[in-house]
Amino acid sequence: MEVALLNHPIVASLLTRLRDKNTSSVEFRIIVRQLTIFLGVDATKDLACREKVVETPVAEFRGVEMDASIAIVPVLRAGLGMAEPLFELIPQAEVRHLGLFRDEVTLQPVTYYQKLGDKPADVCLLVDPMLATGGTAIAAIDILKKWGATDIRFLAILAAPEGIAAVEAVHPDVKICLGALDERLNEQGYIVPGLGDAGDRQYNTL
């Protein structure tokens, strides 16, 4: 399994502000957008391209355009905050949706919504701010593979080692792109030091 970790001073500064319990939900959403752009650029740096010739105001130019269909798949609801900036970065992409939540008692994922369409994209960017136990990520990847997806890239702002190990054990072919890798999970299944509940902090439902 390939795990790509962002290493940039701007990312480190943004992550510090994101973790701060005093950061407002408005600022939290803005920072999630900013970090997602970094993740999106890094996760797609190896996409196949084909040649495209255009006319500049001065001369002909032989450039490129992407040669792959892309689906952005946010895990509802926290992943929604990452889908929009990715869509702005890749406006030709398609947006699909998966509704999953983690049962607070069993910590197991529960699927409540699925809207993927008929034809799988060449590349699926699965987005969820947190990779904690790995249960939700594994369930989402299972669904995408049943859909027919073969190139799945999971983008998360934070992850715990336990979550990465869980995904690797079941889906070693999936690339994981992270803003940061934290220390561990606590007894409640939350990432430590983490940032709390990403969905609640984005949408001010604490």
List, for residues 97-106, the tens digit of each pLDDT value.
Answer: 999 877 777 7
Residues of the chain with pLDDT under 70: 107, 206
CB distance 26 to 18 below 8 Å: no
What is the rounded distance in angstroms from the CA atom of residue 35 to the CA atom of residue 131? 15
Question: Residue 3: is it exposed, middle or buried by C-beta count within 10 angstroms (0-12/13-18/19+)?
Answer: middle
Tell me the three state secondary structure of residue 69: coil
What is the rounded distance in angstroms from the CA atom of residue 139 to the CA atom of residue 143? 6
Structural domain including 72 reads: 3-203
Question: What is the predicted pLDDT for the residue at 106?
Answer: 72
What torsion, rounded to 10 degrees, do the Cα atoms 74, 69, 35, 201 define?
-10
List, for residues 65-97, the tens digit of each pLDDT value.
Answer: 999 999 999 998 889 999 999 999 999 999 999
Q: What is the CATH number of the domain that holds 85?
A: 3.40.50.2020
Question: What is the predicted pLDDT for the residue at 78?
Answer: 85
Give the DSSP letter of residue 71. Answer: E
Tell me the three state secondary structure of residue 196: coil
Question: What is the predicted pLDDT for the residue at 189?
Answer: 85
As annotated, the active-site residues are 102, 106, 197, 200
CA atoms within 13 A on the CB side of 119: 5
What is the rounded distance in angstroms from the CA atom of residue 132 to the CA atom of residue 129? 10
Question: What is the predicted pLDDT for the residue at 179?
Answer: 97
Q: How many domains does the chain have?
A: 1
Taking alpha carbons only, the member of 132, 127, 134 closest to residue 153 is: 127
Q: What is the pTM of this model?
A: 0.92
Q: At what angle do helices 80-89 and 25-43 cross, to 10 degrees?
A: 50
